[in-house]
Amino acid sequence: MAVAGHSMEPALREGDWLFVLPPRRQPRVGEVVVLRDPRDAKHLLLKRVAAVGDGEVTVMGDRRDHSTDSRYFGDVPLTDIVGRAAFRYAPLGRAGRVRS
């Protein structure tokens, strides 16, 4: 999965290529998840989990001043989480695990 946009900098940059794992368990706070945009299900978003509630998660971009996230569209149902960003495989120079 390719990253577009700047809201997750410096952890993830535009053009990074990520290996995304399917959500086998409930996401944990701090993990970077791929989710369906609550405003447009065809659109995928990449955000960090800020809080996990009852069947819902609060997601935030790392760059709070440059991110559209739960502050704007509210909490997101767990069913909208499509995966967890686990590993960056490109660029090779910055390859490695996506840190929580």
Partner 1 sequence: MFGRLFKPTTVAHAHCDIPCGIYDPTAAKVAADTVAKMVEKIGALQPGATDFTTRGNFVRMIAVKEEHAQICKKELEILWSDYFKPEHLEKFPKLHDTFWKAAKLCSKNKQNVDAAAAAELQAAVKEISDMFYATKK
Residues forming the site for partner 1 (CB under 8 A): 1-9, 12, 14, 17-18, 20, 34, 37, 43-47, 61, 63, 66-68, 72, 85, 89-90, 92
Supply the DSSP string of 57-70, one letter for each residue: EEEE-SSGGG--SH
CB of 52 to partner 1, least distance (A): 20
Cα–chain-centroid distance for residue 50?
Answer: 11
CB of 54 to partner 1, least distance (A): 25
CB of 35 to partner 1, least distance (A): 9
The single-letter DSSP state of residue 47 is: E
The single-letter DSSP state of residue 78 is: G
